[in-house]
Amino acid sequence: MSAAQSLQGKDSLCALQQAANFLPNDAEVLNNLGDMLAKHNLQYEAEPCFRRAIALKPQYLDALHNLGVTLVHLNKVEEANACFLRVLAIDPGCIEARYFLTQSKKVAADDANFIELVKIEQRLSNQLPQLPDADRLFLHYALAKGYHDSGDSTPAFQHYQAGAQLKRKSFQYDAKVESHNVDELIRIFDEARLARLSGCGNPDPSPIFIVGMPRSGTTLTEQILASHPDVHGAGELTDLFSITQRNLAGVVYPGSLRLLESTTMGQWSSEYLAAIRLHHSGAKRITDKLPANFMAVGLIHLMLPNAKIIHVNRNPMDTCLSCYTNLFHQNNVPWSYDQIELGQYYRDYHRLMAHWRRVLPASAFLDVHYEDIVQDRETQTRRMLEYCGLAWSDSCALPHEHVRPVKTASFLQVRRPVYASSVERWRRYEQHLSPLLATLGDVLV
């Protein structure tokens, strides 16, 4: 979303707020307002809208569901689960509510919701293809999570795989296009071009970019930094992505980046800074945690030479397995539902980051390893704060206690003390991961 689109979204939000003021007892308007507030990462403001809508219309399923999801993001898990249970009391067949119940806590083998999910699968075993795709997706991923948590790896992976295959059929994706884009970026951002455009950017030091693969520890890293009193954690912003992927003189991305000049660099950096200030106008530093910004590391270095870039690494197999076993609710990770496509995307990411290391100054970005954070959180936290020019704050030592909305797939993990159980997690499913292992190949060496 560009700055202009962000402003347009803000106009829509203002219109809904006006409608709610004019129709304070209209449950649908209140639910729509809450939904729009949540999309703008204003979960605290969204919560009372949903509560008011439910007070006016107690069996309003959309509002109950929306309140439940918002409460999860606000770490009010017990209240969230109560909302999903209310949904099920009205509509016992709502598989989406059952899915969210499995995601919000560790599932025990005797969990009533998990037992009901197994019964639903057994009852529908001959009719499962007739279920709507969305319900089938939620059922597969809910059962996978339940079997995983209860220690039954074989049926867990069967459901992860079935869910991934179903999701993959719902969209078009060509891994060759992704590889071509990386080839182009490597050719475009060579040392000569970087030298020619050096000094054209905006010196504002406020952005902190956190990049890497999804599920590599980027959310944990942001949570640590956002615990600092001088840092606002803005989450996964799409502003840079939208700005830098525009056509230039009719040329599409990424070839358009060959046409970059100093004036464009200045315009883009100013527009980006204006956009992120919409999220928090007074913060000294603002984190932008869109993992795919690894594609733009060279461009960020030119546009915002004083911004900080933290690249988070994690064991490739743990990273890829975590991607493969997650149902992402945005469609921005199409490569994650097929082991070969997933492995190819990781290889493209890996070689592009190697290119940035070759052509950029050593200080252009900081490599951080998830496993190092798990093993010695304080040392790595001090290292990141020093790189960002921030003094030590004791609050960064307890990131799980920092209260802020978290909307990524890691929303539960960041609420807990840093833990090591996710290290080498892939070994549990090694026998099912031959296509991924073969595709990653020498990346694993």
Q: Average pLDDT for residues 277-286, to the nearest whole number? A: 86
Whole-model pTM: value is 0.90
Classified as helix, coil or strand, 405 is: coil
Write down the residue that tokens 């949540």 correspond to.
Answer: 38
Alpha helix (H) residue ranges in 227-261? 239-244
Check pLDDT > 70 for residue 398. Answer: yes
Give the whole-angstrom CA distance, residue 117 versus residue 100.
12
Check pLDDT > 90 for residue 11. Answer: no
Q: Average pLDDT for residues 252-256, to the nearest whole number? A: 96
132: containing domain:
94-170
Check pLDDT > 90 for residue 417. Answer: no
**Partners of residue 313 on adjacent β-strands:** 369
Q: Do 273 and 156 fall into the same domain?
A: no
More confident residue, 194 or 39: 194
Q: Do 204 and 345 fall into the same domain?
A: yes
Q: Do 151 and 179 fall into the same domain?
A: no
Q: Do 10 and 116 fall into the same domain?
A: no
Classified as helix, coil or strand, 211 is: strand
59-118 pLDDT, tens digit each: 999 999 999 999 998 889 999 999 999 999 999 999 999 999 999 889 998 999 999 999
- Residue at which a domain ends, from 124, 142, 170: 170
Give the whole-angstrom CA distance, residue 137 versus residue 333.
16
Q: Average pLDDT for residues 334-349, to the nearest whole number? A: 98
pLDDT of residue 1: 40
Q: For residue 241, what pLDDT band results from cuts at 50, 70 and 90? A: very high
Please state which of the ranges 2-16, 228-242, 429-443 shows the lowest mean pLDDT.
2-16
pLDDT of residue 400: 75
pLDDT of residue 7: 41
Nearest residue to 217 via CA among 316, 300, 283: 316
> Measured in whole angstroms, how far is the alpha carbon of residue 120 from the centre of its chain?
30
Classified as helix, coil or strand, 180 is: helix
pLDDT of residue 6: 44
Polymer length of the chain: 445
- Residue at which a domain ends, from 33, 63, 91: 91
pLDDT of residue 310: 98
Q: Do 115 and 187 fall into the same domain?
A: no
Q: Do 272 and 222 fall into the same domain?
A: yes
Give the whole-angstrom CA distance, residue 115 versus residue 102.
11
Q: For residue 415, what pLDDT band results from cuts at 50, 70 and 90? A: very low
Alpha helix (H) residue ranges in 189-293? 191-197, 218-226, 239-244, 262-277
Q: Do 5 and 49 fall into the same domain?
A: yes
User: Which long-range CB contacts under 8 A does 319-322 form with residues at least 24 apart?
Assistant: 319/213, 319/215, 319/216, 319/346, 320/213, 320/346, 320/426, 320/436, 320/440, 321/425, 321/426, 321/429, 321/433, 321/436, 322/215, 322/422, 322/425
Give the whole-angstrom CA distance, residue 106 versus residue 111.
10
Check pLDDT > 70 for residue 10. Answer: no
310-323 pLDDT, tens digit each: 999 999 999 999 99
16-58 pLDDT, tens digit each: 889 988 899 999 999 999 999 998 878 899 999 999 999 999 9
118-149 pLDDT, tens digit each: 999 988 877 766 789 999 999 999 999 999 99
CB 379 within 8 A of CB 367: no
- Residue at which a domain ends, from 112, 146, 170: 170
Q: What percentage of residues in the chain have a pLDDT greater than 70?
A: 93
Check pLDDT > 70 for residue 328. Answer: yes
Question: CA of 410: how far to CAs of 104, 185, 219, 250, 413, in Å?
Answer: 11, 29, 7, 39, 5
pLDDT of residue 8: 46
Check pLDDT > 50 for residue 303. Answer: yes
**Mean pLDDT taken over the chain:** 91
User: 203 phi and psi, to 5 degrees?
Assistant: -80, 0
* No. of helices (H) and no. of strands (E), the chain: 20, 5
Give the whole-angstrom CA distance, residue 312 versus residue 410.
15
Q: For residue 165, what pLDDT band results from cuts at 50, 70 and 90? A: very high
pLDDT of residue 360: 98
Q: Do 307 and 335 fall into the same domain?
A: yes
CATH number of the structural domain spanning residue 359: 3.40.50.300
pLDDT of residue 197: 94
pLDDT of residue 5: 43
Number of Cβ atoms within 10 Å of the Cβ of 417 = 9
Q: Average pLDDT for residues 247-269, to the nearest whole number? A: 94
Q: For residue 265, what pLDDT band results from cuts at 50, 70 and 90? A: very high
Domain count, the chain: 3
Q: For residue 412, what pLDDT band results from cuts at 50, 70 and 90? A: low
Q: Do 114 and 206 fall into the same domain?
A: no
CA-based radius of gyration for the chain? 22
Q: Do 131 and 212 fall into the same domain?
A: no
Check pLDDT > 80 for residue 282. Answer: yes
Tokens found for residue 166: 């179903």
Q: Do 220 and 162 fall into the same domain?
A: no
> Measured in whole angstroms, how far is the alpha carbon of residue 330 from the centre of its chain?
8
Q: Do 87 and 98 fall into the same domain?
A: no
Q: Average pLDDT for residues 189-197, to the nearest whole number? A: 96
